[in-house]
Structure 1
Amino acid sequence: MNLVTFSADGRQHWGVSVPGGVLSLSDDFPQWKTLRGVIEAGAIDLVLAAGAGRKASHADGRFAYDIPIPDPEKIICVGVNFPDRNAEYRDGQDAPPNMSLFPRFARSLTGHGQPLIRPPESPQLDYEGEIAVVIGTGGRRIPETDALSHIAALTLCNEGTIRDWVRHAKFNVTQGKNWDRSGALGPWLVPFRDPAQIVDVDLVTRVNGEVRQRDRTGRMLFPVARQIAYISTFTTLVAGDIIVTGTPTGAGARFDPPVWLRPGDVIEVEVPGIGILRNGVADE
């Protein structure tokens, strides 16, 4: 079982994935309005136990996935975090000593199975497949040697980008990264139990069945433990915060000519042990 947030019957629920659908547990635990509350309380195992052996409350096709944590305090994304991504910039510079970071807002992300939205202001909607980690135990100046113990769960992100809006300012990419529903997060939260789930796993992004991005997290310039340590140096991480850990080479902007996403395309981000995040594309 994995933890899910979904909409059905005119309201948002949270619960667990079960064979044939999802099981709402929102009413079983009214003290926690979202999965952020479950994580803050350290209650993931309690929730999983409550769902054990029970049938779906909502069958497949009778609900819509939402982003797993609809109310995070922070979503922080790591840019240019694979060796080939650094080379894509063709600026002759070696990998930087510190990571590039930028924020995303929850409103900029949609759930599994929902379309990424292409705005009328630009056709340059692009994909970036990534793993996202969810903080369970917060902290400030977390030692790198202890950092992975602060993770509660893992999920997947399509860190969709409006490319020409990334260059609207000299140093700032925030505008291109935060268009409403331009990216996706999900489908669920996989409880984090073992460093092997994140340290060296295969990350693949497909567009219409064609592999566009593929690499292993073991090749990250800044591994996840380093990300947590570095970010927590300047800001206090809290339960439910999300760190989007970086994408491999192969985004549409790097083709010649660039290949942008269009309505009818289907993008899949897949990592063994986490699952597949699948989204279409629609015009606003």
Structure 2
Amino acid sequence: MNLVSFIAGEKALWGVTAGDGVLALSPEFPEFPTLRDVIAAQAIPQVLGAAQGRAASHAAGSFALQIPIPNPEKIICVGVNFPERNAEYKDGKDAPANMSLFPRFARGFSGHGAALIRPPESEQLDYEGEIAVVIGKPGRRIAESEALSHIAGLTLCNEGTIRDWVRHAKFNVTQGKNWDRSGAMGPWLVPFTDPAQILDIAIETRVNGELRQSDRTGRMLFPVARQIAYISTFTTLVPGDIIVTGTPTGAGARFDPPIWLKPGDLVEISAEGIGMLTNEVADE
């Protein structure tokens, strides 16, 4: 049973997966307008308990999934976090001692099953399959040994990027990383109960059925616990914050010539124990 945010009849709701459909729980918990509020109240066990043994309230096809946390305070992405990713830059430099970070905005993501949008300003829409962690317990200067206890759940992310726009300035990539609906997140939030859920699991990306990315979280240069500890050094992490943990080698930009996403392409990102995030590409 996983947590979902969704739209049904133009109404934003949250609930849990139930077979092929979903069970809306937000009407029963008006004190929690969104899943972010559920997480902040440490109420995931309570809402999961309320759903036990119940059937779907909305059948498949009658709702549209949103990104699991539609209103996070912040989304922070970790770049160049797998060994071969550093080599892809071909700059002759060793992997840095500290992680590369950049922000993304919630409106840059579609939900599972919705379109990834290629804007008219560029044809260089690229994919990046990643695992995202959602913070459940606030903290500042969190010790690495305690970091995983601050996670509420896991989801998947296509950290879609407009490649030529990440080079519009000298030092930052923000422009290329924040086009509306250029990425995706979902399909749901898997409650985090065991470090084994993140320590060494496989993540893969396929485009039109072709395997493009494949690696394991155990090979991350900066493991998730270190990410949480490092990020919380300079900013307070709060419930609902999302950390997008890094993509393996194999994005379209790294082919020769590059292979950009085009309308009609189907991108599937999967990870052990989390599920599969699927989106088709469309022009704006």
Which TM class, normalised by the smaller chain length?
over 0.9
> 1:210, CA displacement in angstroms?
0.5
User: The residue matched to 1:39 in structure 2 has which SS?
Assistant: helix
Residue 105 (1) aligns with residue 111 (2): no
Partners of 2:256 and 2:182 in 1: CA distance: 23
The aligned counterpart of 1:143 is 143
The aligned counterpart of 1:206 is 206
The one-character-per-residue Cα deviations of 1:19-75 (angstroms, maximum 9, x if unpaired) are 120000110000111000000000001111111111111101111010010100010
Residue 78 (1) aligns with residue 113 (2): no
1:33-48 aligned within 5 A: 33-48=33-48
User: The residue matched to 2:28 in structure 1 has which SS?
Assistant: coil
Partners of 2:48 and 2:84 in 1: CA distance: 39
The one-character-per-residue Cα deviations of 1:75-127 (angstroms, maximum 9, x if unpaired) are 00000000000000011111000000000000000100001000000000000
Partners of 1:281 and 1:45 in 2: CA distance: 36
Matched positions, count: 284
- 2:238 corresponds to which letter in structure 1? V
Residue 226 (1) aligns with residue 223 (2): no
The one-character-per-residue Cα deviations of 1:247-273 (angstroms, maximum 9, x if unpaired) are 000000000000000111000110011
- 1:64 corresponds to which letter in structure 2? A
Partners of 2:282 and 2:64 in 1: CA distance: 16
Residue 60 (1) aligns with residue 82 (2): no
> 1:10, CA displacement in angstroms?
1.4
The aligned counterpart of 2:6 is 6
User: The residue matched to 1:184 in structure 2 has which SS?
Assistant: strand
Residue 195 (1) aligns with residue 227 (2): no
Partners of 2:70 and 2:20 in 1: CA distance: 24
The aligned counterpart of 2:173 is 173
The aligned counterpart of 1:241 is 241
The aligned counterpart of 1:258 is 258
> 1:235, CA displacement in angstroms?
0.2
> 1:145, CA displacement in angstroms?
0.6
The aligned counterpart of 2:28 is 28
Partners of 1:114 and 1:146 in 2: CA distance: 36
- 1:175 corresponds to which letter in structure 2? Q
The one-character-per-residue Cα deviations of 1:177-234 (angstroms, maximum 9, x if unpaired) are 0000000000000000111100000010000010000000000000000000000000
Partners of 1:133 and 1:273 in 2: CA distance: 13
Partners of 1:138 and 1:203 in 2: CA distance: 27
Partners of 1:6 and 1:143 in 2: CA distance: 35
Residue 281 (1) aligns with residue 281 (2): yes
The aligned counterpart of 2:120 is 120
Partners of 1:58 and 1:256 in 2: CA distance: 45
Displaced runs of 4 or more, over 6 A? none
The one-character-per-residue Cα deviations of 1:111-158 (angstroms, maximum 9, x if unpaired) are 000010000000000000000000001100000011000000000000
Percent of aligned pairs with the same amino acid:
76
The aligned counterpart of 1:96 is 96
Partners of 1:110 and 1:51 in 2: CA distance: 26
Partners of 1:211 and 1:175 in 2: CA distance: 28
The aligned counterpart of 1:217 is 217
Partners of 2:9 and 2:204 in 1: CA distance: 34
User: The residue matched to 2:27 in structure 1 has which SS?
Assistant: coil
Partners of 1:256 and 1:66 in 2: CA distance: 35
